[in-house]
Amino acid sequence: DSGVTQTPKHLITATGQRVTLRCSPRSGDLSVYWYQQSLDQGLQFLIQYYNGEERAKGNILERFSAQQFPDLHSELNLSSLELGDSALYFCASSVGVSPGEKLFFGSGTQLSVL
């Protein structure tokens, strides 16, 4: 058990809908990361937050947004969903942003857009 909790584990929805994925980082970790894993693209970095502030953005679509709350949990909002958004979404956390930081990953949320 990594200590990172993601809910829900599975999500099935229709095109055009909006969903929210939730992540609770390991106790004491201030940094949260979101990744999208698909068969063709591999593991793509979406966004990083540190202590409530956005710190880095990767290949995140404009239809997607995220935030980190004062209690350090994070939510990833996906809207106007398309078939191609079907993927496994991982949250990870780390203590900080120092070189060599180790990331702890949750078990992921499997999103299926039908």
Q: With CB under 8 A as the contact rule, which of the stretches 11-19, 20-28, 77-85, 94-102 interacts with another protein?
A: 94-102
- Total of chain residues touching another protein, rule CB under 8 A: 29
- Give, as ranges, the residues between 33 and 52 that touch another protein (CB under 8 A): 33, 35, 42-43, 45, 48, 50
Give 80-105 as a DSSP string: S--GGG-EEEEEEEES-S-TTPPPEE
Is residue 102 involved in binding another protein (CB under 8 A)? Answer: yes
14 vs 43 by CB, closer to another protein: 43
* Cα–Cα distance for residue pair 82/113, rounded to 1 Å: 7
Across the strands, what pairs with 20? 77
Q: Looking at this protein, which amino acid is placed at residue 25?
A: P
Residue 76 C-beta: closest distance to another protein, Å: 15
Q: With CB under 8 A as the contact rule, which of the stretches 14-22, 65-73, 76-84, 87-95 interacts with another protein?
A: 87-95
E strands within 1-86?
5-7, 10-13, 19-24, 31-38, 42-50, 53-57, 64-68, 74-78
Contact 79, 64 (CB under 8 A): yes
In the complex, the residues that contact another protein under the rule CB under 8 A are 2, 4, 31, 33, 35, 42-43, 45, 48, 50, 55-56, 58, 90, 92, 94, 96-108
